[in-house]
Chains A and B, each alone.
Chain A
Amino acid sequence: MVSVQNITKEFGANRAVDNISFEVTPGTILGFLGPNGAGKSTTMKMLTGFLTPTSGTASVNGYDILKEPIEVKNRIGYLPESSPAYQEMTVLEFLNFIADCRGFTDLEKRTARIKEVISLCHLENVGNQTVETLSKGYKQRVGFAQAIFHDPPILILDEPTDGLDPNQKHEVRKIISGMAEDKVIILSTHILEEVDALCNRIIIINDGRLIIDQTPDEIRNEHGNKLDEVFRKLTSSTHNS
């Protein structure tokens, strides 16, 4: 359960996120939509504790992001945009580091979990390769493996399929929808078909403000059939100005 209350982030005079509130319950795959620079990543970075909100707050399974950041971080798996990882480490070394940080002290459990995550993300062939030598698709999967490592109840994915080829996209979507049942998944994307294929709830952000919070069906009933036309109609004001 994620609950966001009047969260706002200002960078100098620029208000990147403006008073956004919403709640997400388990079983939801929430699609975070909006043009570039709308405030999607900033909102996600605040939820994961990387940025501190200027005002407002949020809670994750009852833990406040400002008061108990470590408890929040224990419950969130986060895939940052462009999935950064330590380049000089091999995939196995990197996952071992994540296991260390996530408190997997029992050697048996840890080895089992690493094996499990590697097979789930199809990383079997690159375990001993350093991250810098991997293709974009593999790097993304390493980021994904890192995010789901501790089997978190909340997954926050910033453009999880960005830069992948169609097969890889399909693969990642399959993994995401396979995990959805009892989790809260929040993902941002530019790809509208992805929202259609995956999400059961959509939030559209424009200019830092939340302008739509509905299910895909509700949006269709209200605004017409084509999701990309709806998107353009609702967010075009920034492009004209």
Chain B
Amino acid sequence: MNQTIPVLKREFGGYFRSPVAYVFLVVFLTASIGLTFFVGNFFDGQVASLQSFFLFHPWMFLFLIPAVGMRLWSEEKRSGTIELLFTLPITTTQAVIGKYLAAWLFVALAIFLTFPIAITVGYLGDPDWGVIFSSYLGSILMAGSFLGICSLTSALTQNQIISFILSVLVCLIILFLGWSIFSDLLSAIFPFWIVDALSNFSFTTHFDTFTKGIINVRSVIYFLSLSATALMLNILALER
């Protein structure tokens, strides 16, 4: 397993060797704070909570995480470095996990850097820190699932744009399953139990439990198993 470390190190450093990391961090932080204040009307709520901050995470991730994940494998394929990588003494599994963890670590860093907003609510009022902690945990886990899907789609093509659009599409479908408007629409056609089962597959359904301050084992398992499944398919796609 120690061979994942060099891959992880190189991939993580790769974000900072190009402008990608800095552009992403600036956009991510501006968007997450901007949405909280201007769309979520943070101050109007008069409540010391980060509800209006975490509310937007699934929708923000929908576009920003494919931007991080789209290059994972498609870039290796396009530039031919995949041939170098897979003739080094590294297994496909180690390479896939190493690259995935690097991207996840990078996104987790971006999420962590939003901490001033937490300090702000702490300064203004008396928030429930447990809820804030579980929300952050849920956000990072959800980001991991998004990334798993992005890693998989980027292994299917050597074109980053196609990889981006595919990831957004797949993530959008999984998001929609739990969106109330969408499930209302579905319940007009399908029986209730099907709609309920489908919405259990959605990011938002499971993320919501975290933002309510509940660390539900089922939701943790949901996010982790979704990532694991995506990565397994990713390995298969590369070994094909």
Cβ of A74 under 8 Å from chain B: yes
Given A85-B81, A89-B17: A78 and B6 interface contact (C-beta under 8 Å): no
A45 to B53, CA, bound (A): 50
Q: Which of A64-78 contact B (CB under 8 A)?
A: 69-70, 73-74, 76, 78
Name 18 A/B residue pairs within 8 A (Cβ), A-sorted: A45-B83, A49-B86, A50-B83, A50-B86, A73-B88, A74-B89, A80-B80, A82-B80, A84-B83, A84-B84, A88-B14, A93-B17, A100-B6, A100-B10, A101-B6, A101-B7, A101-B88, A103-B89
Residue B9 is within 8 A (CB to CB) of chain A in the complex: yes
**1/0 per residue B1-17: CB within 8 Å of A?**
00101110110011001
Residue in contact with A100 in the complex, picked from B9, B81, B84, CB distance below 8 Å: B9
Q: How far is the CA of A146 from the CA of B91 in the complex (A)?
A: 18
Across the interface, name the chain A residue whose C-beta is closest to B20: A88
A22 within 8 A of B: no
Q: Are B86 and A88 in contact (CB under 8 A)?
A: no
Question: Within the complex, what minimum Cβ distance (angstroms) separates B93 from chain A?
Answer: 12
**5 tightest A-B contacts by CB?**
A100-B6, A84-B80, A73-B89, A88-B17, A48-B87
**Partner of A87 from B6, B13, B79 at Cβ < 8 Å:** B79
- Measured in the bound complex, the distance between the Cα atoms of B86 and A197 in whole Å is 32
Cβ-defined contact, A76 with B87, below 8 A: yes
The B contact surface, by secondary structure, is helix
Whether A97 contacts B14 by the Cβ 8 Å rule is no
Given contacts A87-B79, A88-B17, contact A78 B87 (CB under 8 A): yes
| Given A86-B14, A88-B14, A97-B10, A102 contacting B89 (CB threshold 8 A) | yes
For residue A71, give the distance in angstroms from its CB to the closest CB of chain B.
8
Name the distance in Å between B85's Cβ and chain A's nearest Cβ: 9
Residues of A within 8 A of B162 (CB): none
Interface pair B14/A80, CB less than 8 Å apart: no
Q: How far is the CB of A200 from chain B (nearest CB, A)?
A: 25
| Complex contacts, A98 vs chain B, CB 8 Å | 88
Interface residues of A (CB under 8 A from B): 45, 48-50, 69-70, 73-74, 76, 78, 80, 82, 84-89, 93, 97-98, 100-103, 130, 146
Cβ contacts under 8 Å, A78 to chain B: 87
Min CB gap A89→B, angstroms: 7
From residue A136, how far is it (CB to closest CB) to chain B in Å?
14
Indicate if B90 sits at the interface (CB-CB under 8 A): yes
Within 8 A of A (CB), among B1-52: 3, 5-7, 9-10, 13-14, 17-18
Q: Quote the shortest CB–CB distance from B23 to chain A (angstroms).
A: 14
Query: Would B87 and A102 count as touching, CB distance under 8 A?
Result: no
Question: In the bound complex, do residue B88 and residue A102 qualify as a contact, i.e. CB atoms below 8 Å apart?
Answer: yes
* Chain B nearest Cβ from A53, distance in angstroms: 14
Q: Contacts A70-B91, A101-B90: A88 and B84 contacting too (C-beta < 8 A)? A: no
Bound CA span A69–B87, Å: 9
Q: List the A side residues contacting B84 at CB < 8 Å.
A: 80, 84-85, 146
Which A-chain residue is minimally distant from B3 (CB atoms)?
A101
Beyond A80-B83, A85-B81, A101-B6, 9 additional contacts (C-beta under 8 Å) are A45-B83, A50-B87, A73-B88, A85-B84, A87-B79, A89-B14, A97-B9, A101-B7, A102-B89
Q: How many whole Å from A206's CB to the nearest CB in chain B? A: 24
A-side contacts of B91, CB under 8 Å: 69-70
A65–B35 alpha-carbon span in the complex (Å): 54
CA of A132 to CA of B80 in the docked complex: distance in angstroms? Answer: 14
Identity of the chain B residue whose Cβ is nearest the Cβ of A86 in the assembled complex: B81
Quick one: closest B residue to A73, CB to CB? B89
Mark interface residues in B170-189 (1 if CB within 8 Å of A CB, else 0).
00000000000000000000
B87 touches which of A73, A87, A97, A103 (Cβ 8 Å)? A73
For B18, the chain A residues whose CB sits under 8 A away are: 88
A84 to chain B, nearest CB (A): 4
